[in-house]
Amino acid sequence: MTDAETRKRAQVIDTRAELMLREVEAKAEIAKLKATESAKDTASKHLAQFAGLYLLILVLAFIGTVAFIESEAIAVVAGLVTLVVTNLSTILKSIVEEKAEDTEEDKA
């Protein structure tokens, strides 16, 4: 191996080592951010991702139960489903408004 090839190979190894070091630092930073995240933030992210699915399941469950329950009980089930859907919608609205306030504060 010539001297130039040795230097080039050493440079490639140094570059790879630097990339690996930066990757480890980035992963450590992400882990630190996740560890310091509050429960409210974690719940907000979860609801933001899955609230639509929860609402869909509730509506489908209501439609499915209508076929099997007595007609007098339909109003009770409809009321409960409406209550849960309204609460989920309110939570989602507060999450969106809170995020909007945070971005406005960041811009200022």
* Model confidence pLDDT, tens digit, residues 87-104: 888 888 887 777 667 666
Same domain, 65 and 27: no
Same domain, 51 and 19: no
The model's confidence at residue 106, banded by pLDDT at 50, 70 and 90, is low
**Alpha helical stretches, state H, the chain:** 3-36, 39-66, 74-107
pLDDT of 40 strictly over 80: no
Same domain, 54 and 93: yes
**Domain interval for residue 29:** 1-36
pTM of the model as a whole: 0.53
Same domain, 45 and 5: no
Same domain, 21 and 66: no
Arithmetic mean of pLDDT, 56-83: 86
Arithmetic mean of pLDDT, 65-93: 85
Question: DSSP class of residue 69?
Answer: S
Same domain, 2 and 55: no
State percent of the chain over pLDDT 90: 11
